[in-house]
Structure 1
Amino acid sequence: MPQWTIEGPERMTFGRVASLNVRTVAGKLAILASDGPPTLEVTEIDSASPLIVTYDEALNELTIAYKDLTWDGLLGWLRRDRRSANVSITVPRNCTVNAGVVTASAVVAGFENDTHARSVSGEIVLDGVSGDVSATTVSGDVESRAMVGNLAFKSVSGDLTVADGSPRRLRANSVSGRITADLALPPTAHVTLNTVSGGILVRLPETVETDVTFRSTSGRLASSFDELTTVNKPGSKSLSGRLRGGMASVSAVTVSADITLLKGDKE
């Protein structure tokens, strides 16, 4: 299969791409959905650390990565490494995307199929991405904009921000990172948020129809919805109830952090 070594600024186009794999260290990464031909553009790169580009025509798979940066080793990458590249990629919106960065910032926008993003400490932005989406970081923050579909987030200390989200499924787990979610819930939506010491803030429309269950061992629970009931027991606090029809469900659990539910605008 064709393979190229990228050591300087470069622009390349490819045939059909159904699956994209990208692994970079530092710099910037943009992966954008486009109706045009699949394109790779590298504007800056450390020439001492070339990127390897592989295009499998039989599988319609495009891979852009450093030779020694594997998926299994990505999240444990502790080497002092100066390699950096600014990379922009456009592929069809129904392409499957697998993207991994160490400290680089990454933007993934406009895709409708499976999207998987990994980061050590780099920030990930998911803009208008639907389908099944997963984001895993060590300390990197994740921002999701105009989300439709399923999102699974997992981090040690990274924050998650969901803006203008309409998820079918949203699962978020962080040890000390904060979770902020501004949501409009479709019927049967299921939202589960869990942290140890990271605060959780959820904003729902005034007319939302959902069951709510919040629990914390020692954190404060607060709600703008008067319909919910608070129960305080030694070592356990809960805030729960049904808002209107209660077709969707929202649950949040912390050990020591606060959980806040705010009332947004009407849908």
Structure 2
Amino acid sequence: MTAWKIAEPERLVLEEGVTALSVSLVSGRLNVVGADGPARVEVSSISDRPVTVTLEGGVLTIAHEFPKGWPGFLGWLFGSRFKVDVSVVVPMEAAVRLNLASGTIIASSLRNGATVGVTSGRITLLGIDGRVNGKVVSGSIEGLTLGGEVDLETVSGEIVVADSTAGKVSARSISGSVTCDLDNPSAGTEVRLDTVSGEITARVREDSDLRVSLNAISGHVVNAFSELDQHSRNTVTGRLGTGTGGHLAANATSGTISLLRRPVDDEEAVEA
């Protein structure tokens, strides 16, 4: 095992191969990118508490040290002493697990999925394939150009998903909004959007092939497609096109669901 204890800004280049990344930090900003070449770790700023970096058996671990006797999770209360800005480059096929108590995580260009959790702050996921899991207790999640299977959840905050090619998308918020901008999902695609107290907005292409089911228990549904069946002010079902391109389901306990129409771009129409 190789280990480093970082207490000041430093840059590491790791010649040993990295197959997995595990990060557990208290406070700050974490940026993880998948790329060719050797793995690299750069700590651009750091407060009082050092960060430990270890590499063993292809597993790269980056973590804050806690004084003995401290309940680990409670350390986030003293976040200013633990604040750190870390950037990590790993192979695109590396398995990634990231956790931050308070702050921002940005993860991009990964091919083997990612599991990302923030207690209070923000998650941004860009160009990730495989199984993607993101959870924020208080804050927001933004997912762009995601593939594979996507599962996003906030307790209090906003979720935005756009340009997804994932075969399965699940986005749910207890108290907050969910926004999803879809292209034309392929056959078998499942998209499920849920909120307990908040609004859901879904935008799909006007030439989409989709089965649609929208239900707002205490609220109403705004529907831009006349070909769908509006059973009541809070329930809409039906098919768009042939209905073979996938399934869009949205459910709100208290709030509004809006299904919006996105025109096909002129350039796409010409190419078709």
1:209 aligns with 2:205: no
Q: Answer yes or no: is 1:161 the counterpart of 2:155.
A: no
Q: Is this contact kept in 2: 1:24–1:104, CA < 8 A?
A: no
Aligned-pair CA distance for 1:145 = 1.1
2 CA distance for matches of 1:121 and 1:77? Answer: 13
Distance 2:36 2:5 in 1: 26
Letter paired with 1:22: V
Structure 2 distance, partners of 1:249, 1:220, is 20
Worse-matched range after superposition: 60-69 or 107-116: 60-69
Structure 2 unaligned regions, length at least 5: none
Which residue is equivalent to 2:78? 80
Q: Are residues 1:181 and 2:177 paired?
A: no
Aligned residue for 2:60?
Answer: 62
Query: Structure 2 counterpart of 1:120, which letter?
Result: T
Find the counterpart in structure 2 of residue 197 from structure 1. Answer: 197
Q: TM (normalized to structure 1)?
A: 0.92
Range that drifts further, 206-215 or 18-27: 18-27
Distance in 2, Cα, partners of 1:17 & 1:44 = 24
Distance 1:189 1:85 in 2: 39
Partner of 1:27: 28
Closer, same or farther: CA 43–78 of 1 in aligned 2, 3 Å: closer
Separation of aligned partners in 2, 1:162 and 1:84: 29
Residue 146 of structure 1: CA displacement? 1.4
Structure 1: gaps spanning 5 or more residues: none
Percent of aligned positions that are identical: 32
Which residue matches 1:39?
A: 40
2:94 maps to 1:95: yes
Distance in 2 between residues matched to 1:263 and 1:67, nearest whole Å: 50
Q: Secondary structure at the match of 1:230?
A: strand
Relative to total residues, which structure has the larger strand share, 1 or 2?
2
How far is the alpha carbon of 1:265 from its aligned partner?
A: 2.6
Shift of 1:77: 6.5
1:25, CA displacement in angstroms?
2.2
TM-score in terms of structure 2 length: 0.90
Are 1:240 and 2:241 matched, yes or no? no
Partner SS for 2:165: strand
Query: Which sits farther off after the overlay, 11-20 or 76-85?
Result: 76-85
- Cα deviation per residue 1:177-213 (whole Å; 9 max; x = unaligned)? 1100111212211011111111000011111111000
Could you say which structure has the higher helix fraction?
Answer: 2
* Aligned position for 1:253: 251
Work out whether residues 24 and 100 of structure 1, in 8 Å CA contact, stay in contact via their aligned partners in 2: yes
